[in-house]
A and B are shown apart, each in its own frame.
Chain A
Amino acid sequence: MSSVSFTCYVVAVVLFCLGFFGCLVRRNALVVLMCLELMLNAVNLIFVEVAMRTGSPGGIIMVVFVITVAAAEAGVGLALALNLYRLKGTLDLESFRQLKG
Chain B
Amino acid sequence: MVLAAAAVVFGKHPIYSAFSLVLCFFGLAVIYTLLNNLFLGMVQILIYTGAIVVLFVFAVMLVDSPKGSGFQSKRPFLSIASLIVIWTLALQMISVVGAAPWVAQTREDATNMRFVAKLLFTEYLWPFEVLSLFLLVMILSIYVLARPDQSKRSAP
Contact = CB atoms under 8 A, between A and B. Distances in A.
Interface of A: 1-2, 4, 8-9, 11, 13-22, 24-28, 30-31, 33-35, 37-38, 41, 44-45, 48-49, 51-57, 59-61, 63-65, 67-72, 74-76, 78-83, 85, 90-92, 94
Contact of A55 (B14, B44, B63, B107): B107
Interface in B1-43: 1-2, 5-6, 8-9, 11, 14, 17-18, 21, 24-25, 28, 31-32, 34-37, 40, 43
A34 B56 contact: yes
Contacts of B70: 26-28, 31
Chain B: interface size category? 35 or more
B107 A27 contact: no
Contacts of B51: 71
Interface of B: 1-2, 5-6, 8-9, 11, 14, 17-18, 21, 24-25, 28, 31-32, 34-37, 40, 43-44, 47-48, 51-52, 55-56, 58-60, 62-63, 65-66, 70-72, 74, 78-79, 82-83, 85-86, 89-90, 93-94, 97, 102-111, 115-116, 119-120, 124, 127, 131, 134-135, 138, 141-142, 145-146
